């Protein structure tokens, strides 16, 4: 029997996901809960199910390519890649945050200056480019994967687009949040082909999540 692989993101979302997995009755092996473990794939108490722990930005790619059949991914990731091979089947109501524009506190908030051109530090190139294109503005993205709030402080640009939860990091780096591109929660996603070929086992897992999330 071909095993189902579930891709889950490391970090904060996983911390919120773990209680849900326990309530569902999906119990990964002990190393799964260790932040020190370098192991990436874990068996569970279900013989047909393994879990892989990967970076949040990579979950959708693993599922879209069929390397994992099920995954947990935020709207930021799903919107950035927009894979046609994925079903978004259930809002897990965890990982709540927003994808926002932030600028230097003393900068002008009008994006249409500099002849319709803006320089933005972000890791969400596609999302940002499309957002500003709809406003008739050409966005040139500087790709950064972390410490994005430093970009304005070090003079790289005056505008960033990044995930915001409490807003504390934005404020402490002398930035102000000016617009929200996307309100985010984490979704249960399924590879479309796998859903057809492995329907019974995938449906059984989906039903367990639905029972907990929808009450």
User: In the CATH hierarchy, which fold is given to the domain comprising 4-95+185-213?
Assistant: D-Maltodextrin-Binding Protein; domain 2 (3.40.190)
Question: Within 10 A of 208 (CB to CB), how many other CB atoms are there?
Answer: 17
Which pLDDT score, from 0 to 100, does residue 90 have?
Answer: 97
Which pLDDT score, from 0 to 100, does residue 36 have?
Answer: 81
Residue 37 has pLDDT above 90, yes or no: no
pLDDT tens, position by position, 58-92: 999 999 999 999 999 999 999 999 999 999 999 99
**Mean pLDDT, the chain, whole residue set:** 93
Which pLDDT score, from 0 to 100, does residue 111 have?
Answer: 57
Percent of the chain clearing pLDDT 70 (strictly above): 95
Find tokens 């990731």 and name the residue.
77
pTM of the full structure? 0.91
Which pLDDT score, from 0 to 100, does residue 196 have?
Answer: 92
Residue 63 contacts residue 179 (beta carbons within 8 Å)? no
The C-alpha atoms of residue 174 and residue 187 are separated, in whole angstroms, by 32
Handedness of CA 84, 71, 127, 142 (dihedral sign): negative
Which pLDDT score, from 0 to 100, does residue 156 have?
Answer: 93
Degrees, nearest 5: CA angle 71-73-75: 145
The C-alpha atoms of residue 2 and residue 201 are separated, in whole angstroms, by 10
Asked which of 1-15, 106-120, 155-169 is least confident by mean pLDDT, the reply is 106-120
Which pLDDT score, from 0 to 100, does residue 199 have?
Answer: 87
Which pLDDT score, from 0 to 100, does residue 73 have?
Answer: 98
Nearest 10 degrees: Cα torsion 158, 163, 168, 174 = 0
DSSP one-letter string for 88-143: EEEE---S-EEEEEEEETTS---TTHHHHEEEEEES-HHHHHHHHHTTT-EEEEEE
What is the pLDDT confidence band of residue 2, given thresholds at 50, 70 and 90? confident
User: In the CATH hierarchy, which fold is given to the domain comprising 97-184?
Assistant: D-Maltodextrin-Binding Protein; domain 2 (3.40.190)
Of 116 and 8, the one with more pLDDT: 8
Q: Where are the beta strands (DSSP E) in the chain?
A: 4-9, 41-43, 49-54, 70-74, 86-91, 97-104, 117-122, 138-143, 159-164, 175-184, 186-191
DSSP state of 37: -
What is the pLDDT confidence band of residue 108, given thresholds at 50, 70 and 90? low
**Residue 45 φ/ψ, nearest 5 degrees:** -75, -5
Mean pLDDT of 5-22: 96
What is the pLDDT confidence band of residue 110, given thresholds at 50, 70 and 90? low
The C-alpha atoms of residue 74 and residue 213 are separated, in whole angstroms, by 16
Instruction: Locate CATH 3.40.190.10 in the chain.
Output: 4-95+185-213, 97-184
């Amino acid at each position: 029997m071909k095993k189902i692989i579930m891709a889950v993101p490391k970090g904060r979302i996983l911390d919120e996901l773990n209680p849900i997995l326990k309530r569902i009755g999906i119990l990964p092996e002990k190393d799964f809960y260790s932040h020190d473990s370098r192991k990436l794939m874990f068996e569970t108490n279900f013989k047909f199910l393994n879990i892989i722990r990967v970076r949040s930005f990579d979950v959708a790619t693993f599922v879209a390519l069929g390397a994992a059949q099920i995954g947990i991914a935020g709207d930021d990731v799903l919107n950035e890649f927009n894979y046609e091979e994925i079903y978004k089947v259930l809002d897990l109501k965890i990982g709540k945050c927003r994808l926002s524009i932030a600028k230097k506190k003393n900068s002008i908030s009008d994006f249409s200056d500099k002849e319709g051109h803006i320089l933005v530090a972000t890791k969400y190139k596609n999302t940002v480019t499309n957002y500003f294109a709809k406003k008739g503005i050409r966005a040139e993205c500087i790709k950064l994967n972390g410490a994005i709030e430093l970009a304005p402080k070090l003079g790289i640009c005056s505008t960033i687009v990044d995930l915001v939860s409490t807003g504390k990091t934005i404020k402490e780096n002398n930035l102000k949040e000016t617009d929200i591109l996307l309100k985010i929660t984490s979704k249960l996603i399924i590879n479309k082909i796998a859903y057809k070929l492995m329907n019974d086992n995938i449906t059984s897992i989906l039903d367990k999540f639905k029972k907990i999330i929808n009450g």
